[in-house]
Amino acid sequence: MLSSALFTGVRVLQVLIAIPIIGMLGWFVDPYVDNNQTPPDGLLTLFIVSILACAWALVTLFQFHRYRSMSGPFIAVIDIGFVGAWIAGIYLNRGISDADCSNFSAPVGIRIGDNNYSAGDSWSASVNRPCAMFKASWILSIIECILFFATCLLSWTLYRSHRYDTRHAHKEYTGGRRSGSTSTYSSHRRHHRHARV
């Protein structure tokens, strides 16, 4: 039960993280589409993987509990495939990891004796919006990669525990049925035969 709740929670988190990735990368892809150009490979890879991963997470979120007994290994294989796709997108965009997307400045003042020396007028911050958005998408993609690996393991664990529970529940059910109902039924039939004769 805990694994099932954990699987559902991680799937919801995957969808919630994929939505901003799709939005931010869509902002980058849109000018290329407007100019009828192909976006860079790294950008396009992360964008497509995030859309497919979000769709897959939604489908499995709503269908997993219905078909858990047969779909655990299938979900695990597809999830590990998404881990590989996320790794490819992260690797293609690895250059953004060293980018400095913001510039902060603060006033500096020194007092020597009766003289005040200052540099800079006030606090200021400037953020390069495209750089910050792309770096945020890249970092969120790393988180998605980890989460998809976690759901791969969870779906396999749930499948194995469901198979184990089903096997043992079946043995208990058939074992109890053979010993209890047969003797009760046969003694009940014998009682009715004697009453009629």
The pLDDT tens digits of the residues spanning 148-181 come to 999 999 888 876 665 544 554 445 545 555 544 4
Distance (Å, whole) CA 18 – CA 63: 19
Give the structural domain span for 37: 2-196
Could you tell me if 51 and 22 are in contact, meaning their C-beta atoms sit under 8 angstroms apart?
A: yes
Q: What is the largest CA-CA distance in the chain?
A: 126
13-27, 58-72, 81-95: which range is least confident on average? Answer: 58-72
How many whole angstroms separate alpha carbon 110 and alpha carbon 118? 6
H helix intervals, the chain: 2-34, 41-63, 68-92, 129-176, 182-196
Average pLDDT in the chain: 80
Q: Of the candidates 79, 1, 114, 27, which has an alpha carbon nearest to the alpha carbon of residue 9?
A: 1
Q: Tell me if 15 sits within 8 A of 148, measured CB to CB.
A: no
What per-residue confidence (pLDDT) applies to 183?
A: 47
d(CA 132, CA 124): 17
Instruction: Give the C-alpha distances (Å, rounded to integers) separating 149 from 57, 122, 140.
Output: 13, 46, 14
Provide the domain count of the chain. Answer: 1
- Give the predicted TM-score (pTM) of the model: 0.70
Asked which of 12-21, 80-89, 96-105, 128-137 is least confident by mean pLDDT, the reply is: 96-105
Closest to 100 in 3D by CA, of 125, 123, 131: 131
- The pLDDT value recorded for residue 90 is 96
CB 76 within 8 A of CB 29: no
Distance CA 13, CA 124 (A): 35
Q: Which of 6-10, 149-153, 159-163, 189-193 has the lowest mean pLDDT?
A: 189-193
